Amino acid sequence: MPEATAQQDTWTAPVADGPVNGRVRVPGSKSITNRAYVLAALAGSPTLVRDPLVSRDTRLMLAAIGALGGGHAETGADVRVTPVSAGRGTAGIALGNAGTVARFTPALAALGTREVRFDGDEAIRRRPLAPLLGALTGLGADIDDGGRGAPPFTVRGRGGLRGGAVELDSSASSQFLSALLLAGPGFGEGVTVRLVGGAPPSEPHIAMTLDLLRRFGAAPERDGSRFHVPAADLALAEYVVEPDLSTAAPFVVAALAAGGSTHVEGWPAETTQPGDWLRSLVTELGGSAELGPDGLTVTGTGEIPGVSLDLHEVGELTPVVAALLCFADGPSEISGVAHLRGHETDRLAALAAELSALGANVTDTADGLRIIPAPMRGGTFHTYDDHRLVMAGAVLGLRIPGVLVENPATVGKTFPGFVSAWDTLVTRTSD
């Protein structure tokens, strides 16, 4: 499907000549924005989504909703979403490399009346999806995936889904579970999911799904590994999206890597976002994180201890954290993130290769990374069309001259303005 692809050039990540000292306003949360859009699409009346993320992944979600007969109108920084509607004929949904679009929209298509073909980047064809397609089929969906369990596939909407009870292995991605729960209110009998297999990663994202469902008027229940979402009419007139705390990660760790202080505006006092875990990481690494009414202030010294971290619940933070730990004064171990091999790229292999190529001694283990810091040098940092590898390269550049970050535009998946925000922070260092 014709859809924007990233350009191939490089960006020389700026070196921090002294301690960093700056403020940043990161854009809205990808995960919250795309959940709000999905629930707005299923609602009975329009929803004004305020301060949403505007990026490749969220544009793809809005386009998907459009393909299913919904609509949206932008007013300043806000987006009014109109629900999907019945319609005949065929439609196409472009997935890009957006996990949220690939996992959350097939159920919407199954609830509709169109024949919808799904496809996206080469990379999304390799990302796990089969357990979700299997569960949707078990709930009554008509899906033709040619037996691949991956895009391209077609969903033939039959005007509704029976729903009911289903078993799901969500160990490869929490998004399978979130997908069933988000669509649950639209199923005739609601949905009851019993998790089988290993524990899903990214527990905060599951809590986020339940939270958003409640805000739209649904009544999800959880009893350990059993989830129930009754059928419900959804409505929410207005919803304000929080800043993306995972996008904030490189700015937070900049103060630890270079010393100095960074302030992230609008950090929420309470949130389901996994990025909130960064506050405890900062403390564990010897810095300070102060949450005030206008945001989070992080202060560091540039000295970092080696640590052992289980990142199962906050896997998407791994690339940035791994880059930071290359500056530690001893070895580190990251575990619990085997599922990262099925993210935008095989992140464990990519990080081991790229961090090692610049001099660190990094190996990928069965479920994580072993990082032995060593003197590092500049060179090309390949990014594998992965926005979080661009952010990881930026962190390395703080202390290593000549880090050439490949294809920086791919960061537009979640933060199109990242390079200029980073250049501004790093070049405005204090004495």
Ligand X SMILES: O=C(O)C1=C[C@@H](OP(=O)(O)O)[C@@H](O)[C@H](O)C1
Ligand Y SMILES: C=C(OP(=O)(O)O)C(=O)O
Count residues near ligand X (CB under 6 A). Answer: 13
- The amino acid that residue 5 corresponds to is T
Please give the order of strands across the beta sheet that includes 164-169: 164-169, 191-196, 226-229, 221-223
**Least separation in angstroms between CB 317 and ligand Y:** 8
Query: Which listed residue (242, 316, 344, 406) is catalytic?
Result: 316
Tokens found for residue 235: 């409505």
Should residue 388 be labelled a site residue for ligand Y when binding is judged by CB under 6 A? Answer: yes
Should residue 178 be labelled a site residue for ligand X when binding is judged by CB under 6 A? Answer: yes
Report in angstroms the alpha-carbon separations of 137 from 84, 129, 133: 21, 13, 6
**Least separation in angstroms between CB 304 and ligand X:** 24
316 is catalytic: yes
- Picking from 213, 212, 112, 210, the residue whose alpha carbon sits closest to that of residue 155 is 112
Going by the DSSP 8-state scheme, the letter that residue 4 receives in this structure is: -
Residue pair 169/197 in contact by the 8 Å Cβ criterion: yes
Tokens found for residue 202: 């990214």
Q: How many CB atoms lie within 10 A of CB 22?
A: 19
- Considering only 98, 132, 241, 360, the residue that binds ligand Y (CB under 6 A) is 98
Q: For residue 373, is the peptide bond before it cis, meaning its omega torsion is within 30 degrees of 0? A: no
Per DSSP bridges, beta strands 226-229 and 221-223 are: antiparallel
Should residue 58 be labelled a site residue for ligand X when binding is judged by CB under 6 A? Answer: no
**Least separation in angstroms between CB 337 and ligand X:** 8
Q: How many CB atoms lie within 10 A of CB 88?
A: 8
HSE (CB half, 13 Å, CA atoms) of 363? 5
Should residue 210 be labelled a site residue for ligand Y when binding is judged by CB under 6 A? Answer: no
Q: Classify residue 297 as left (phi > 0), alpha (psi -120 to 50) or beta.
A: beta
Residue 205 binds which entry of ligand Y, ligand X, none, CB below 5-8 Å type-dependent:
ligand X
Using CB under 6 A as the binding rule, the residues of this chain from 303 to 362 that contact ligand Y are 316, 343-344
User: Which C-beta is closer to ligand X: that of 204 or that of 397?
Assistant: 204
**Least separation in angstroms between CB 318 and ligand X:** 9
Using CB under 6 A as the binding rule, the residues of this chain from 60 to 89 that contact ligand X are none
Site stretch for ligand X (CB under 6 A), options 107-115, 174-182, 218-226, 320-328 = 174-182
Phi first, then psi: what are they for 339, rounded to 5°?
Answer: -65, -10
Measured between alpha carbons, how far is 228 from 193 in angstroms, rounded to an integer?
6
User: Which C-beta is closer to ligand Y: that of 119 or that of 344?
Assistant: 344
Should residue 35 be labelled a site residue for ligand Y when binding is judged by CB under 6 A? Answer: no
**Least separation in angstroms between CB 214 and ligand Y:** 22
User: Which C-beta is closer to ligand Y: that of 6 or that of 20?
Assistant: 6
Should residue 218 be labelled a site residue for ligand Y when binding is judged by CB under 6 A? Answer: no
Q: Which residues sit opposite 47 in a β-bridge?
A: 81
Which residues of this protein are in contact with ligand X, per CB under 6 A? Answer: 31, 99-100, 173-175, 178, 201-202, 205, 315-316, 339
Q: Annotated binding residues for 3-phosphoshikimate, as ranges?
A: 30-31, 35, 173-175, 202, 316, 343
Which residues of this protein are in contact with ligand Y, per CB under 6 A? Answer: 98-100, 316, 343-344, 388
Which residues are known catalytic residues? 316
